[in-house]
């Protein structure tokens, strides 16, 4: 991640997972039960990234991060 200068959107670099877009979508939607914006919809520069909206209560974000972390650990 890059330090933000004032935004509610964060780009999560998922390239180290070495998953293709369909595998990444399955991990995020079916295992973590989250909906993130796939970086590929923003063009080639977004490949391998997911966009997360941080405009939510801290407790909701913490739960989402835990679910994503658990899904990645269980790959």
Taking the CB of residue 72, how many other CB atoms lie within 10 A of it? 16
Predicted local distance difference test score (pLDDT) of residue 7: 82
Predicted local distance difference test score (pLDDT) of residue 4: 63
User: Which fold is adopted by the domain 9-73?
Assistant: 3.90.1150
Predicted local distance difference test score (pLDDT) of residue 1: 60
Give tens-digit pLDDT for 1-59.
667 677 889 999 999 999 999 999 999 999 999 999 999 999 999 999 999 999 999 99
> pTM for the whole thing?
0.81
Question: Which residue is associated with the tokens 């909701």?
Answer: 60
- In the chain, where the domains are located: 9-73
Question: Quick one: CA dihedral 54, 58, 63, 69, positive or negative?
Answer: positive
Predicted local distance difference test score (pLDDT) of residue 66: 97
């Amino acid at each position: 991640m890059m330090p933000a200068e004032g935004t509610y959107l964060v780009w999560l670099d998922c390239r180290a997972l070495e998953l293709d877009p369909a595998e990444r979508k399955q991990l995020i939607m079916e295992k973590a039960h989250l909906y993130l914006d796939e970086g590929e919809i923003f063009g080639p520069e977004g490949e391998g990234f997911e966009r997360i909206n941080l405009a939510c209560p801290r407790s909701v974000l913490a739960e989402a991060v835990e679910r994503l972390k658990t899904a990645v650990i269980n790959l």
